[in-house]
Structure 1
């Protein structure tokens, strides 16, 4: 190798490194992350879609047709409410019974490795062939048997083939509720036809038409590798962005409404392809062309 090559190659290498690491606009994640689904706001750690919210919630949460859904191994369940203060959400399984609609139910379950755990809900098992037991221990809470009597005053109880005011022997207030080792409310194994889940008895505990029905779930946070996540995420959301993550290390990113993502917030961010000045796009193209010529020139000089 001649003296010219010994001088030129390090220079080319330095120019290559400087050009490579000159800041450019970050390419967009398409589509942009949602900040709401229907009427429900979406904030960290919840998110729908890959790269949105915390990775722990993908693909459990989705938003088809503006309806927020939780999907587990037993089915998909509409989410009716969210509380970011208490880290709680409420789902309304379509096969769950209420006073106005009683029906046979499929098993309900949560994924054992998912971010959700059963919250403060009261399960009432309906039309059971015998009082449910786990091994030799009864699952029923006798102190709440009056809730069975109240629920059996609902006219829709006849859908189970039971008469109005049926004996409460076929009903069980499952408390404290547990989803068992497989994470399921195994109605077939418990030999019950259906269930109701009560969040609140309201002001009239004896009137099941006034009860609030649904299944409360608690969720845990985490999943993004960032030591100062709370501050970063707050700044992102204040700027109109949605907190997300960048695999494979799941570092924090702020996803803006135009699809651009940054490591800070959306202030001053514009759509690279449609909103950026043409000279920005030109610089991006020139840099790539310049890198290509450097590589070719390096091979020529090294020959």
Structure 2
């Protein structure tokens, strides 16, 4: 009868089985969320996309369909309406934002996490229903864009802000170039304004606010050599083979999530052996083989009753 494994060895094997092998993503990763194509560095849930972006991007229901959202530390979530992977930009539609068709007092400030991989870009903020002293004296306001204030104040929706039709433009301020305060906020209360509109494009008729493209444009960057390496090597191969890029937890090791219901550390090509998962990943190969050697040495020592160091050497 085979010798029983010592309790210490059983404890070692249990520990290693829990900690050596990284877990797969908590849920399947997808290459779309609603009608939006999802590619690296973004993901549709935990363990999907880049570990740098995963805390900020999620796919959830907007009440009628699935949609990508950007999350912040303040628990604010902003719907993502478009992504350009060529220019590394995305557009948000904050619920607090006004437009020509619908204006409302902003009860919350727009905010971003300073530590996130996103920065404001190509967005013109129009501060509405402001104290007149702001537009007259504040260095925040760019008087060369006053025509934008006059244009948006032709929208009938201004009455929702408690303003009359065609109100004086001195209660409006074009905040350009836009910036956020030290807390990452567009603090309307501190600016003495009641609402804001944000515009990413004036369209072909700059004086017609009904044809402007409203939203907040953000630039995103991969933020490190690790992500850039994944894009140019493993991740591009994964996506080309029909997989979705993800990462294992803990350790953030690269995973290619395949539609066949399995994960690999390379891609989803038919020639790939699914049982090779994790074994040949450049970030984990050496620890894995060292620990495998250690485990088998421990087993042999326990079975044959020889000192552990004799098995090693």
Q: Could you state the TM-score of these two structures normalised by the residue count of structure 1?
A: 0.78
Q: 1:118 deviation in Å?
A: 0.5
Between the aligned partners of 2:35 and 2:164, the Cα distance in structure 1 is 40
CA contact (8 A) 1:29 1:261 kept: no
The aligned length equals 259
Between the aligned partners of 2:70 and 2:146, the Cα distance in structure 1 is 31
Q: 1:29 to 1:205 in 2, by over 3 A?
A: closer
Q: 1:52 deviation in Å?
A: 1.2
Which residue of 298, 302, 307 maps to 1:298?
302
CA contact (8 A) 1:121 1:198 kept: yes
* Superposition misfits of 4+ residues, deviation over 4 angstroms: 25-28, 269-272
Question: Who is 1:92 aligned against?
Answer: 93
| Higher RCO, 1 vs 2 (CA within 8 Å, ≥6 residues apart) | 1
Q: 1:118 to 1:226 in 2, by over 3 A?
A: closer
Q: 1:258 deviation in Å?
A: 3.6
Which residue of 119, 122, 145 maps to 1:120?
122
Q: 1:204 to 1:29 in 2, by over 3 A?
A: closer
Which residue of 52, 59, 66 maps to 1:63?
59
Question: Who is 2:110 aligned against?
Answer: 108
Q: Could you state the TM-score of these two structures normalised by the residue count of structure 2?
A: 0.75
CA contact (8 A) 2:103 2:158 kept: yes
Aligned to 1:157, what secondary structure does the other structure show? helix
Q: 1:87 to 1:227 in 2, by over 3 A?
A: closer
What do you get for the CA RMSD once the two structures are aligned? Answer: 2.7
In our comparison, the structure showing a higher alpha carbon Rg is: 1
Aligned to 2:52, what secondary structure does the other structure show? helix
Q: 1:72 to 1:297 in 2, by over 3 A?
A: closer
Between the aligned partners of 2:111 and 2:227, the Cα distance in structure 1 is 31
Structure 1: gaps of 5 or more residues: 1-19, 273-290
Structure 2: gaps of 5 or more residues: 1-15, 276-294, 308-313
